[in-house]
């Protein structure tokens, strides 16, 4: 006979504690910034102690990496949902762009993924994260468009990175109050400019 709360497997404890920590950290990292959020504050919000944090994560940066990874995955899911493979290559790109800009309007996401992420983890690790999630479908879309002759032939790696950078900056500008219309227009112009002559 096991009483419901006092008897929990280690795996269960680990999962919930990690989830609580990541959730609390996500909340604070998006409200404020990585630098302005202290580990005492995080563990208080998560209802554990700093001992638990440093048991499950190597350091504050590792916890941040977990938060970023989770958020990047969430953004990628939202984009995939909005651009099903039934669309043509070009339409999928446009739909994906819109979905990305919409996804990035969730408060704090731009800071987390576009400002603090690169600064804290470095561009190399951010690229690795992006390639595991968001950028992958963008690159596949571009390659597909190039294969159907609806796009100029260019190095996929570089093209993906530079278009993604443009999307990122657009998301930041829109959050800062710029005209979403203007930025969408330029983005589509950049993409359509890549059609073969």
Partner DNA sequence: CAATTAACATACAGTCTGCATGTAAATTGA
Partner DNA sequence: TCAATTTACATGCAGACTGTATGTTAATTG
Which residues would be at the binding site for DNA (CB under 7 A)? 6-11, 13-14, 17, 37-41, 48-52, 54-56, 58-61
Nearest-approach distance from CB 149 to DNA, in angstroms? 51
Please classify residue 145 by burial: count the beta carbons closer than 10 Å to its beta carbon, then call 0-12 exposed, 13-18 middle and 19+ buried. buried
1 binds, among DNA, its own copies, none (CB under 5 to 8 A by kind): none
Q: Which residues bind its own copies (CB under 8 A)?
A: 33-35, 114-116, 118-120, 122-124, 127, 152, 154-155, 157-159, 161-166, 168-170, 172-173, 176, 178-179, 182-183, 185-187, 189-190, 192-195
| Torsion of the alpha carbons at 25, 98, 187 and 91, rounded to the nearest 10 | 140
Residue the block writes with tokens 């609580």: 20
29 binds, among DNA, its own copies, none (CB under 5 to 8 A by kind): none
Q: Which is nearer to its own copies, 24 or 174 (CB)?
A: 174
Residue 56 CB, nearest distance to DNA (Å)? 7
Interacting partner of 36 out of its own copies, DNA, none (Cβ under 5 to 8 A depending on kind): none
- CB 169, min distance to its own copies, A: 3
Nearer to its own copies, 75 or 187 (CB): 187
DSSP the chain: ---TTT---HHHHHHHHHHHHHHHHHHHHHHS-TTT--HHHHHHHHTS-HHHHHHHSSSHHHHHHHHHHHHHHHHHHHHHHHS-TTS-HHHHHHHHHHHHHHHTTSTTHHIIIIIIHHHHHHHHHHHHHHHHTHHHHHHHHHHHHHHTTSS----HHHHHHHHHHHHHHHHHHHHTT--HHHHHHHHHHHHHTTS--
Q: How far is the CB of 194 from its own copies (least distance, A)?
A: 5
| Min separation Cβ 4 and DNA, Å | 11
Q: Which does 41 bind (CB under 5 to 8 A by kind): its own copies, DNA, none?
A: DNA
C-beta closer to DNA: residue 4 or 196: 4
For DNA, the closer of residues 62 and 172 by Cβ is 62
| Per-residue tokens: 180 | 């979403």
CB of 134 within 8 A of CB of 117? no
């Amino acid at each position: 006979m096991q009483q419901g709360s006092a008897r929990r497997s280690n795996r269960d404890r680990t999962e919930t504690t990690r989830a609580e920590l990541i959730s609390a950290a996500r909340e604070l990292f998006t409200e404020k910034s990585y630098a302005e959020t202290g580990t005492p504050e995080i563990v208080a919000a998560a209802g554990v102690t700093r001992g638990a944090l440093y048991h499950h994560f190597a350091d504050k940066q590792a916890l941040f990496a977990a938060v970023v990874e989770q958020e990047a995955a969430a953004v990628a899911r939202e984009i995939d949902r909005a651009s099903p493979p039934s669309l043509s290559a070009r339409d999928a790109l446009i739909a994906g762009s819109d979905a990305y800009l919409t996804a990035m309007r969730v408060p704090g996401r731009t800071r987390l993924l576009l400002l603090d992420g690169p600064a804290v983890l470095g561009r190399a690790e951010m690229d690795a994260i992006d390639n595991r999630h968001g950028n992958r479908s963008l690159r596949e879309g571009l390659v597909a468009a190039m294969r159907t002759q609806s796009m100029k032939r260019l190095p996929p790696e570089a093209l993906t990175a530079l278009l993604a950078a443009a999307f990122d900056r657009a998301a930041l500008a829109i959050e800062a109050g710029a005209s979403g219309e203007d930025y969408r227009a330029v983005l589509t112009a950049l993409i359509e400019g890549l059609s073969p002559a």
